[in-house]
Amino acid sequence: MLVNTYSKRIFNIAYQFAGSYQEAEDLTQDIFLKLNNSLSKYDFKRNFSAWLFTLARNYLIDQYRRTKWEKQTRDDFNDHYLPSEAFENPEEGVVKEENKRTVWQGINNLTSEIRMAIILRDIQGKQYEEIAEIMSLPLGTVKSRINRGRLQLAKILKEKKERRNEM
Amino acid sequence: MKCERIEQLLSPYLEDELNPEEKGAVASHLKTCKKCSLLFSLIKETQESLADIPELEVSKNLLDRLYSIPREKKRFKLRLPNFDFLVRPSLQPALTVATIMLIMISFYFYGPNKSSIDKSISRQIHLGYSKIERLYAKAESFSASLGEHKDNILVSLKNIKLLGGNED
């Protein structure tokens, strides 16, 4: 059944994109409603996962543009993500957790298109070709957006580290 | 290469997607440029942090909402009455007449000559009415003339042998 197979992936993309748990649940429900109404339009020649992710991507970006989510904050990283298992070096573990929190919040500074590309590549681990299909963009554009997103996040991480060192 | 150009190549360098020439240029630049070298290590950290974000499980509440979607759709489905009887062969002449009538009515209401059609209909009605009046008048005069000749007719009828009448 579609819900069993795809709900987790769609919900996680929605949460990573929107940053709000409640919003992500509502968005996931909307995406499945949309899927239910659009199944008749599915072209069997296409990869179903890519088609579904395209539908989810379009819906998420449209909603983002329409509402700008009327807020600029994301849930705190540890609201729903548990801290990773203990590291051999506790200090390294603290830095990694701090980095994750910073990068998680930094996603909010990315434009919707770059944000989606970064989520699909670096969090979901998809291939560039698949991302290009999902986002209906040329491969080169996808790669350049991902590069820009990583640079933006890296610069945010740099600023955060500098501020931490100043304290 | 300038730092701006190197910045553009850091991601592909990290993913080993550069040609040997570009790869060599980036590697040698990173050895000498502290700024780009720091940025490269930050990109690596960023990528590692993103890859380390775990997948959340879907809550039971959301799953219930998702499973109920097809049911909701059914609940709101319009139940149209069954119009199968309309395709019965016995109704076809009636439907044909109704269709022709509707076409004529639509010509009357939406056609450009509505007033002339009105006039001709009214003329036809008046003509018909006057014909009936004339017929009625003729019938009256016929019954009046019948009254005048009633006695003669009765005598004639009585004299017909076939009906058993007398000669006188």
Considering the domain delimited by A1-76, tell me its CATH architecture: Orthogonal Bundle (1.10)
| pLDDT score for B142 | 87
CB atoms closer than 10 angstroms to residue A56: 26
Rounded Cα distance, A44 and A58, in Å: 20
Residue in A32, A81, A143 closest to B53 by CB: A81
Contact (Cβ atoms closer than 8 angstroms) between residue B14 and residue B43: yes
**Distance (Å, rounded) from C-alpha B133 to C-alpha B139?**
10
Query: B17-22: long-range contacts at Cβ-Cβ below 8 A with a sequence spacing of 24 or more?
Result: none
Distance CA A109, CA A101 (A): 14
Burial class (CB in 10 A: 0-12, 13-18, 19+), A167: exposed
Mean pLDDT of A26-45: 88
Closest CA to A67 of A2, A117, A17: A17
> Is B50 close to A122, i.e. CB distance below 8 A?
yes
Residue closest to B26 by CA, chosen among B13, B44, B11: B13
pLDDT digits (tens, 9 = 90+) for A88-145: 677 778 888 899 999 999 999 999 999 999 999 999 999 999 999 999 999 999 999 9
User: What residues of chain B, 33 to 72, have a C-beta less than 8 Å from chain A?
Assistant: 38-39, 42-43, 45-59, 61-63, 65-67, 69-70
Optimal mutation site among A1, A2, A3, A142, interface B, most CBs of chain B within 10 A: A3
In chain A, what are the domain boundaries?
Answer: 1-76, 88-167
In angstroms, what separates the C-alpha of B86 from chain A's closest C-alpha? Answer: 29
Interface pTM, i.e. ipTM: 0.90
How far is the C-alpha of A59 from the C-alpha of A63, rounded, in Å? 6
Least confident piece of the model among A46-50, A51-55, B67-71: B67-71
Q: Is A160 on the interface with B (CB under 8 A)?
A: no
Contacts of A84 (CB under 8 A, 6+ apart): A93, A96, A97, B52
pLDDT higher at A24 or A2: A24
Residues near A36 by Cβ (< 8 Å), separated by ≥ 6? B69, B70, B73
Please tell me the distance from the alpha carbon of residue A158 to that of residue A147, in angstroms, as a whole number. Answer: 16
Q: Which CATH architecture has domain A88-167?
A: Orthogonal Bundle (1.10)
pTM: 0.68
Q: Which chain B residue has its CA at the smallest distance from A118's CA?
A: B50
Task: Please indicate if any CB of chain A lies within 8 Å of the CB of B11.
Answer: yes
